Amino acid sequence: MTHESDVMLPISASDEYYDLGLFGRKITTSNPHAQTWFNRGLSWVYAFNHIEGAYCFEQAIAHDPSCAIAYWGLAYALGPNYNKPWECFDYEDLKACMKRAYEASCKAKEHANDATPIEQGLIGAIQSRFQSAAPPTPSEQLAVNRGYATAMEPVYRSFGDDLDVAVLYADALMNQTPWALWDLFTGKPNPKAATMEVKQVLERALAQQVSDKHPGLLHLYIHYIEMSPNPELGVNAADQLRDLMPDAGHIHHMPTHLDILIGDWRRSIASNYKATLADDKYVRRNGPYNFYTFYRLHNYHSLIHAAMFSGKLNMALDAVARMEASVPEDVLRIKSPPMADWLEYFMSVRLHVMVRFGMWEELKQMRLPVDSQLYRVTTATTHYAKGVAYAATGDVDRALEQRELFQQTCTLVPETRRAYNSKCTQTLAVAAAMLDGEIEYRRQNYATAFEHLRKSIALDDKLPYSEPWSWMQPTRHAYAALLLEQGDLEEAAKVYRADLGLDDSLIRPRRHPNNVWSLQGYHECLTRLGRMEEAAVVEPGTKPHILEPSPSQILYNAEYDEVNRTLQPAGAQRLRESSFAWIRSLFQHGLTTPDNLYTLVTSIIINDLGKSPTLAADLQRETATETGPQAKPNHDLILYLVVRQAPHLIPCLERVPPLPPGSSHPRHRARSRIQFRTDGPGRVSAR
């Protein structure tokens, strides 16, 4: 594959190359070409193009064979990473990479005497990752990961203000449990992961003035935050990363991991389109016969995904055509790494687009792949899609024939075929339940049909996390649409509402804010139910609500935990029509003076301080005061008790600005009609 020759001839750094922006790191070398090539290598590995990064480090070595840190970079680039951990290497690939990485790490150590202390620290730590040329066995890989993270810790303790050291330490911690920093179902950090350590390292680094120009730091922060309960907290980092490396497709793409979680589909389309253009430039220069092709297809897939959720058929099909044309079939035939296992899934994406947009007649005419042995996932998916098409047009007999063929071909799909973090056998199990539901629905066996569709939802929800998800059409969409067709408006509305993320019934990554399919379905449900005011809010075509962080979330980052005021266990009254009537009356009759309005606004702002996840613990430690259930404390009560019993815990209360000119002295604020009062244990309200 590309750039793996034994002899590397030096190429001038002034020759035409990719535009990677301005990022760089001063290293121990007197050769300006070695310095430039090292900067490029480090930029590429931060952009997860490890193949090109390794090539650049080899160029740095070719220009300065005594550059110790360039050998370190080569070893680092060849090793495991967040998207390709040890277990994702095939044996031949792992054996070749380990040999090269071990030799590079030894060379780095050999030349380390002239390196800076930071470089020596990094070189020393990488030795624990590559202790010999022999590949670590599966039972040894976890220990190697832990050993490397442990070796990086003292480097970070000594040089924690160095952003590269911080990023590399966070990377070492994250790679102990890739894609498992959070428990998706509880929203809490995975107890087996170093999630909180990663948080501390990354957020300390982000607080530095130059952090907004560091591609590795911003990239890793997105991966850290995306599976958390509050991915919107990473939007600022995502926006700083966007366009930071003009010719690095994956850097354009990465912010869209958060775009789709907050429902910003248009921005996801724009950034992923830029990613594909940058990738086109890369493939023209380097060809498709390299592992970065996986990342290229991921960027195309993300563009298609966003186009589908926006209802843009032509855009999705155009991206599919470009994606398919960029992958010659012989790329899939590469044995090591086994590219068919990594890439063949993407060849089935066209079928998902056609099902999504109801292209039934075109699907009926769709030809099967010529080489069904190579395209096993695509062959099975073709039978699934044809089965859905025949069922949707009332030809149940032909649908049953396709289901039988689908079931037969599914048995031939190897367990090694991947759809990101899922196995293709897992995604095809979702397809099987979907197809069963579609067929039974057209047989008018509605109860059985909905049972199958609920099974498909359960299987879909159990798929390992990825962005985009490996199953491209949310199973709830078909379920809700058929419920709506049967007139079960309340249940359909409930499903659509959950899919849109308008309640907390689904885990955070399973919500799809602002997607056109659920907006249209939910709007129709509400309209037919006569709930016209609600329908007007979600009517397709209205300005989408893009979820962005509140001031409290910005202040507390991932520790922020909002109290859901609609839940009785949270200690708050459920909002009713009378509640809104009271609010209207308050604004019409209660806020009659500037003092009143000022007190209300100030109280609302200060009230957010009570949401501090540590404030309750500090209060209880100092005053032995109980503040309610630990999981969902009443933040109003916490704030009230702190003000009364331990005001030093919130020093900023002493800096509350004065009242507007002409208003009464602050000590007279208690005369305002808006005052805090206690309503018994666990309750604070206003009057």
Residues 588 and 525 in one domain: no
pTM of the model: 0.80
406 residue type, one letter: F
Measured CA to CA in angstroms, residue 236 lies from 252, 267, 509, 546, 548 at distances of: 15, 14, 19, 14, 10
- Domain assignment present for residue 298? The answer is no
Residues 515 and 648 in one domain: no
Number of H helices, E strands in the chain: 32, 6
Residues 369 and 448 in one domain: yes
Per run of 10 residues, the mean pLDDT along the chain (length 687 residues) is: 62 96 98 98 99 98 98 98 94 96 98 98 98 95 97 98 98 97 94 97 95 98 96 94 97 97 95 97 96 97 97 96 97 96 97 97 97 98 98 98 99 96 97 98 98 98 93 96 97 97 94 95 96 87 58 45 38 48 62 66 64 68 60 60 75 58 41 35 33
Residue positions counted in the chain: 687
At residue 501, the 3 state secondary structure works out as coil
Q: How far apart are CA 425 and CA 428, in angstroms?
A: 5
What are φ and ψ of residue 359, in 5° steps? -85, 65
Measured CA to CA in angstroms, residue 606 lies from 594, 640, 664 at distances of: 18, 11, 20
Residues 101 and 74: beta-carbon distance below 8 Å: yes
Domain of residue 459, CATH code: 1.25.40
**The pLDDT of residue 658:** 53
Last residue of a domain, one of 492, 519, 538: 538
Name 516's Cβ contacts closer than 8 Å, sequence gap at least 6.
309, 310, 311, 540
Bridge partners of residue 676, in order along the sequence:
686
Tokens of 43: 């930029």
Residues 485 and 631 in one domain: no
234 residue type, one letter: G
Residues 594 and 533 in one domain: no
Residues 266 and 272: beta-carbon distance below 8 Å: no
- Domain assignment present for residue 292? The answer is no
Q: How far apart are CA 300 and CA 594, in angstroms?
A: 55
CA atoms within 13 A on the CB side of 301: 28
**The pLDDT of residue 588:** 62
Annotate 667-683 with b (16+ C-beta within 10 A) or e (fewer).
eebeebbbebeeeeeeb
Residues 526 and 625 in one domain: no
**The pLDDT of residue 539:** 81
Last residue of a domain, one of 491, 519, 538: 538
Q: How far apart are CA 57 and CA 46, in angstroms?
A: 13
Q: How far apart are CA 270 and CA 277, in angstroms?
A: 11
Split into its structural domains, the chain has a count of 2
Tokens of 364: 């009926």
H/E stretch holding 9 reads none
Residues 498 and 602 in one domain: no
Residues 435 and 442: beta-carbon distance below 8 Å: no
Residues 367 and 455 in one domain: yes
Q: How far apart are CA 439 and CA 437, in angstroms?
A: 5
Last residue of a domain, one of 490, 515, 538: 538
- Domain assignment present for residue 415? The answer is yes
Q: How far apart are CA 299 and CA 43, in angstroms?
A: 19
- Domain assignment present for residue 113? The answer is no
Q: Is 245 left (phi over 0), alpha (psi -120 to 50) or beta?
A: beta
Residues 496 and 613 in one domain: no
Residue 444 belongs to domain spanning: 331-538
Measured CA to CA in angstroms, residue 558 lies from 200, 226, 504, 569 at distances of: 11, 11, 17, 23
Per DSSP, helices labelled H in 32-90 are: 32-46, 50-63, 68-78
- Domain assignment present for residue 459? The answer is yes
Name 655's Cβ contacts closer than 8 Å, sequence gap at least 6.
none
- Domain assignment present for residue 353? The answer is yes
Residues 415 and 490 in one domain: yes
Q: How far apart are CA 180 and CA 465, in angstroms?
A: 9
Bridge partners of residue 183, in order along the sequence:
188
Residues 493 and 591 in one domain: no
Long-range Cβ pairs for the range 94-102 (8 Å, 24+):
94/135, 95/135, 96/336, 98/130, 98/133, 98/134, 98/135, 98/136, 99/133, 100/74, 101/74, 101/75, 101/129, 101/130, 102/75, 102/130, 102/131, 102/132, 102/133
How big is the chain by its Cα radius of gyration, in Å? 28
- Domain assignment present for residue 563? The answer is no
- Domain assignment present for residue 465? The answer is yes
Residues 633 and 679 in one domain: yes
